[in-house]
């Protein structure tokens, strides 16, 4: 409730009694409208009866309660909204024809539960083709590993070595004979030439062998790489085939179906096939102002560190839109890293258990945060407070048992009482029952609600 301004508050002492007097049919001072100033008397079969407050009139009995000043822990209340702890858009990873779905819209689903099935035929064909590629790559690798060309080159090298050895023997045998001129010098020279040619042929065959070995090693490596690539193609095709069956990624409540069987679906679709909201636990977020943050920063630090509040009370309660209190208590989860420059507020996130599913994403509620420590406050029973034209007032019974109207300013509530910031100091006796029987300035007989005897007015 907004507090009245200073000019209006200065008029309260006479404005409220006037309003109450008008409501009960009397002008200020106990005069009825249209009279000359003498209170009207009621007529009864036994004769006239004096009006209330007149000499000889019966003093009305009222029930009173004492205004108390207590050390209390006051809860602050903030407007909040529930937010799913995890929201997942379910989309296909491949393009294909949607065959069917295996869930009921709005139902609770579990992580790993099958949701959709896409036509697997084209992806099964891709798997078979990739498996054929693996078989070909295996054959190529086997052929490369046999090293047929290397074996042929080794045979040529062996033949060249044998020829060189034979020509060297001819040279060794003809040399002494040519020196003794037993054989012509030409025969010896021819043997030397044949040896040199055989040596050159051996060198050439050795080079061919080396090149063949290098080529064979490269062919084996290429064949092995092709085999790995073919196997990877099989894995990729198998993964796409597995993507034809879509499972729930999280546990939560599934929304309405947005893709019907027979449609072509794919990862490029702008809308998801369905949305799953994980609602246990449920996040509840609310914003506090900068000044409130400064006041609560110490308490939030204690909550973040896991320290218990001095009052021992649970720090977060949730009041739903219908006024009922949620049966589970929340815990602090996080505070935003900085104030919102546009709104000047700091977002606080709490988490509440939601095993029963009473909370759904997007609900508006109120979060109550227990204050850190106790504070001395004046408490007046709510039943004693009346409100007229946005002004709150109570009827006080003074020491002389006369009724006095007192305007008050309240600042929240505590249990079944209002917290009074202005108008009462504690110890006053306020009327809780029988307000309609009295008016300001009238005598009354105060009675404690817990006793039948009249209350003692100090």
Q: Which whole-number Å values give the CA distances from 220 to 139, 157, 340, in the listed order?
A: 11, 23, 64
**Quick check: 251 and 103 in contact, CB under 8 A?**
no
User: Where is mean pLDDT largest: 121-135, 378-392, 440-454?
Assistant: 121-135
Tokens of 254: 């599934």
Quote the pLDDT of residue 121.
94
Quote the pLDDT of residue 450.
52
Percent of the chain that is helix, strand, coil (3-state, to 5): 35, 30, 35
Instruction: Write out the residue limits of the CATH 1.10.287.620 domain(s) in the chain.
Output: 122-242
CA distance 319 to 76: 12
Determine the average pLDDT of the residues in 252-274: 91
Q: Which has the closest alpha carbon to 377: 403, 410, 353?
A: 410
Q: If pLDDT is split at 50, 70 and 90, which confidence band does 199 have?
A: confident
Higher pLDDT among residues 342 and 231, named by residue = 231
Quote the pLDDT of residue 300.
60
Compute the C-alpha angle 134/138/142, nearest 5°: 170
pLDDT for residue 408 is more than 90: yes
Quote the pLDDT of residue 344.
80
Determine the average pLDDT of the residues in 13-35: 43
- At 138, which helix (H) or strand (E)? helix 121-146
Coil, strand or helix at 131: helix
pLDDT for residue 379 is more than 70: yes
Quote the pLDDT of residue 8.
39
pLDDT for residue 413 is more than 80: no
Q: Select the CATH number that applies to the domain covering 122-242 from these four: 1.10.287.620, 1.20.1560.10, 3.20.10.10, 1.20.1260.10.
A: 1.10.287.620
CA distance 49 to 57: 8
Determine the average pLDDT of the residues in 199-222: 80
Mean pLDDT of the chain: 79
**Quick check: 130 and 239 in contact, CB under 8 A?**
no
pLDDT for residue 53 is more than 60: no
Strand partners, 56: none
pLDDT for residue 430 is more than 90: yes
Strand partners, 88: 276
Quote the pLDDT of residue 220.
83
59-75 residue pLDDT tens = 899 999 999 988 877 67
Strand partners, 286: 80, 348
Quote the pLDDT of residue 46.
37
Q: Which has the closest alpha carbon to 335: 373, 371, 374, 302?
A: 302
CATH topology of domain 87-114+246-274: OB fold (Dihydrolipoamide Acetyltransferase, E2P) (2.40.50)
Domain 75-85+279-374 has CATH 2.40.30.170: yes
Quote the pLDDT of residue 324.
86
331-364 residue pLDDT tens = 888 878 888 878 788 888 889 998 888 888 889 9
Quote the pLDDT of residue 275.
93
**Quick check: 424 and 66 in contact, CB under 8 A?**
no
- At 164, which helix (H) or strand (E)? helix 148-179
What does the CA dihedral 400, 9, 73, 284 come to, rounded to 10 degrees? 150
pTM of the model: 0.54
Higher pLDDT among residues 448 and 352, named by residue = 352
pLDDT for residue 165 is more than 90: no
The 8-class DSSP code of residue 380 comes to E
- What does the radius of gyration of the chain's CA atoms come to, in whole angstroms? 50
Q: If pLDDT is split at 50, 70 and 90, which confidence band does 23 have?
A: very low
The residue assigned the tokens 């001395």 is 376
CB atoms within 10 A of CB 234: 18
Tokens of 243: 């993507």
Quote the pLDDT of residue 1.
39
Determine the average pLDDT of the residues in 15-23: 46
pLDDT for residue 301 is more than 70: no
**Quick check: 375 and 74 in contact, CB under 8 A?**
yes
Lowest mean pLDDT segment, chosen from 68-82, 103-117, 267-281: 68-82
Quote the pLDDT of residue 208.
80
**Quick check: 103 and 90 in contact, CB under 8 A?**
no
Output the DSSP codes for 193-258.
HHHHHHHHHHHHHHHHHHHHHHHHHHHHHHHHHHHHHHHHHHHHHHHHHHTTEEE-SSSEEE----
Instruction: Write out the residue limits of the CATH 2.40.50.100 domain(s) in the chain.
Output: 87-114+246-274
Instruction: Write out the residue limits of the CATH 2.40.420.20 domain(s) in the chain.
Output: 6-28+58-73+376-448
Quote the pLDDT of residue 31.
39
CATH code reported for the domain at 6-28+58-73+376-448: 2.40.420.20
Lowest mean pLDDT segment, chosen from 124-128, 262-266, 300-304, 407-411: 300-304
CA distance 183 to 147: 47
Quote the pLDDT of residue 304.
54
pLDDT for residue 49 is more than 50: no
């Amino acid at each position: 409730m907004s507090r009245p301004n200073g000019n209006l508050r200065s008029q309260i002492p006479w404005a409220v009694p006037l309003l109450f007097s008008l409501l009960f049919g009397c002008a200020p001072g106990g005069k009825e409208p249209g009279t000359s100033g003498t209170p009207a008397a009621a007529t009864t079969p036994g004769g006239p009866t004096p009006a209330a407050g007149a000499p000889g009139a019966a003093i009305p009995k009222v029930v009173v309660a004492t205004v108390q000043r207590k050390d209390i822990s006051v809860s602050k209340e903030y407007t909040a909204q529930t937010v799913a702890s995890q929201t997942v858009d379910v989309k296909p990873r491949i393009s294909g024809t949607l065959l069917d779905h295996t869930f009921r819209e709005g139902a609770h689903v579990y992580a790993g539960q099958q949701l959709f099935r896409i036509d697997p035929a084209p992806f099964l064909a891709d798997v078979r083709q990739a498996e054929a590629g693996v078989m070909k790559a295996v054959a190529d690798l086997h052929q490369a590993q046999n090293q047929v060309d290397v074996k042929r080159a080794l045979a040529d090298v062996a033949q060249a070595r044998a020829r060189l050895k034979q020509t060297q023997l001819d040279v060794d045998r003809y040399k002494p004979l040519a020196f003794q001129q037993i054989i012509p010098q030409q025969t010896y020279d021819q043997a030397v030439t044949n040896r040199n040619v055989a040596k050159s042929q051996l060198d050439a065959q050795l080079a061919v062998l080396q090149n063949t070995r290098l080529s064979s090693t490269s062919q084996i490596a290429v064949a092995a790489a092709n085999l790995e690539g073919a196997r990877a193609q099989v894995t990729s095709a198998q993964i796409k085939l597995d993507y034809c069956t879509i499972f729930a990624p999280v546990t939560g409540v599934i929304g309405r179906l947005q893709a019907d069987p027979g449609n072509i679906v794919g990862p490029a679709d702008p809308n998801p096939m369905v949305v799953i909201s994980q609602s246990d636990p449920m996040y509840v977020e609310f914003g506090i102002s900068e000044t409130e943050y400064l006041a609560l920063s110490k308490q939030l630090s204690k909550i973040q560190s896991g320290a218990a509040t001095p009052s021992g009370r649970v720090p977060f309660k949730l009041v739903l839109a219908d006024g009922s209190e949620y049966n589970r208590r929340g815990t602090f989860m996080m505070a935003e890293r900085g104030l919102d420059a546009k709104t000047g507020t700091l977002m606080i996130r709490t988490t509440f258990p939601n095993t029963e599913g009473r909370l759904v994403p997007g609900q508006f509620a109120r979060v109550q945060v227990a204050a850190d420590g106790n504070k001395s406050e004046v408490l007046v029973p709510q039943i004693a407070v009346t409100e007229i034209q946005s002004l709150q007032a109570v009827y006080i019974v003074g020491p002389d048992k006369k009724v006095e109207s007192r305007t008050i300013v309240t600042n929240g509530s505590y249990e079944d009482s209002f917290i009074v910031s202005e108008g009462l100091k504690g110890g006053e006796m306020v009327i809780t029952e029988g307000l309609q029987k009295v008016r300001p300035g009238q005598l009354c007989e105060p009675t404690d609600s817990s006793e039948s005897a009249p209350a003692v007015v100090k």
